[in-house]
Amino acid sequence: MISFPNAKINLGLNILSKRPDGYHNLSSCFYPVEWKDILEIIPSHKQHFTSSGIAIPGANKNNLCIKAYDLLYDNHQIPPVHIHLHKVIPIGAGLGGGSSDAAFTLKMLNNIFNLKIPIRLLEEYAAELGSDCPFFIQNKPVLVSGTGTKFNLTSINISQRKIIIIHPNIHVSTKEAYAGIIPKNSSNSIKKILKTPLANWKSLLTNDFEKSIASSHPDITIIKKQFYDYGAVYASMSGSGSAVFGIFEKDFNLSLLNNLAKSHTVWHGIL
């Protein structure tokens, strides 16, 4: 069986408070995009994992696909499989690629072995693997709260727009991302902002990670500025970085970004 785990972008990301357990309460909107990895799972006489494409550090030990298999094995005693991941979504980019791979592994194993695990339980399993993982079980636009695992479906509609994502080939660790964060409650909720016209988002919708990450990695600010210079309606860093996305009108001429494409990884599609 083959599937195509996709990325997501964050429409706004506010870090509201630090919890007693050391995690943070946040607010965001997760929106799926069609930048995809390729994941294949087939029956095998022994359990093993292989990968191609972008190199995955420690792929044979700590990969989330392996952890997803181990989790279902512990709970449902599933047979061994060969998992092969062709990695396309950049790592450490704030696009949720690894989380998506894990969630899709859970869904695929559920189907392959006819485990009939309900969606809510799959989401609980996914939450054990990482805070972004449960989102990719249903893979629909959601308003996010708590530590990133509480979801409410949203009717936000940015269809007929063109999204362009540029990864400046910078890896941002979670530790680095949170090092510059001072949690604070936002006076204007992301839910309310997203109900306003998209043209208002530039002045209202923020990613709290962006300022500190961009101070260490100026390419992020440069890319965002160039997006706006070329007519983006909205641009932002996604997640904890370092990918930057711009939302453009559908007829935007991609050739205008040729210079950026020479030195960065670029993806584009229609939302």
User: Would you state the pLDDT for residue 269?
Assistant: 59
- Whether 242 and 184 map to the same domain: the answer is yes
pLDDT average, residue stretch 133-152: 93
Q: Is the pTM of this model over 0.75?
A: yes
**Greater model confidence, 159 or 190:** 190
A 10 A CB-CB count for 142 gives: 21
- Whether 42 and 133 map to the same domain: the answer is yes
User: Would you state the pLDDT for residue 232?
Assistant: 95
CA distance 169 to 79: 38
pLDDT average, residue stretch 14-22: 89
Residue where a domain terminates, one of 152, 176, 211: 152
Is residue 132 part of the annotated active site? The answer reads yes
Average pLDDT score, the chain: 90
Which residue among 36, 132, 208, 224 is the active-site one? Answer: 132
pLDDT tens digits, residue range 201-242?
A: 999 999 999 998 988 899 999 999 999 999 999 999 999 888
- Whether 136 and 178 map to the same domain: the answer is no
Which ranges of the chain would DSSP assign to H, the alpha helix? 59-62, 64-76, 97-112, 119-129, 135-138, 174-179, 190-194, 201-204, 210-216, 219-229, 258-263
Is residue 219 part of the annotated active site? The answer reads no
CA distance 130 to 195: 29
Band of pLDDT at residue 79, cut at 50, 70 and 90: very high
Q: For residue 199, what are its two tokens?
A: 């043209």
pLDDT tens digits, residue range 231-249?
A: 999 999 999 888 999 999 9
- Whether 135 and 75 map to the same domain: the answer is yes
User: Would you state the pLDDT for residue 261?
Assistant: 64
CATH code where residue 212 lies: 3.30.70.890
Which residue among 8, 36, 107, 224 is the active-site one? Answer: 8
- Whether 22 and 133 map to the same domain: the answer is yes
pLDDT average, residue stretch 11-18: 93
- Whether 137 and 240 map to the same domain: the answer is no
- The length of the chain, given as a count of residues: 271
Band of pLDDT at residue 262, cut at 50, 70 and 90: low
In the chain, how many H helices and how many E strands? 11, 12
In order of 44, 68, 78, 125, 267, the CA distances from 75 in angstroms are 19, 11, 8, 10, 38
User: Would you state the pLDDT for residue 59?
Assistant: 64
- Whether 129 and 171 map to the same domain: the answer is no
Judged by DSSP in three states, 40 sits in strand
Residue where a domain terminates, one of 127, 152, 177: 152
- Whether 99 and 207 map to the same domain: the answer is no
Residue where a domain terminates, one of 95, 124, 152: 152
- Whether 127 and 193 map to the same domain: the answer is no
Name residue, tokens 């016209």: 197
- Whether 104 and 6 map to the same domain: the answer is yes
- Strands of the sheet containing 38-43, edge to edge, are 2-3, 38-43, 81-87, 48-53
- Whether 233 and 248 map to the same domain: the answer is yes
- Whether 139 and 177 map to the same domain: the answer is no
pLDDT tens digits, residue range 115-136?
A: 999 999 999 999 999 889 999 9
CATH code where residue 84 lies: 3.30.230.10
pLDDT at 174 over 80: no
Band of pLDDT at residue 30, cut at 50, 70 and 90: very high
pLDDT average, residue stretch 95-106: 97
The number of distinct structural domains making up the chain is 2
Judged by DSSP in three states, 247 sits in strand
| Residue span of the structural domain in which 206 resides | 155-270
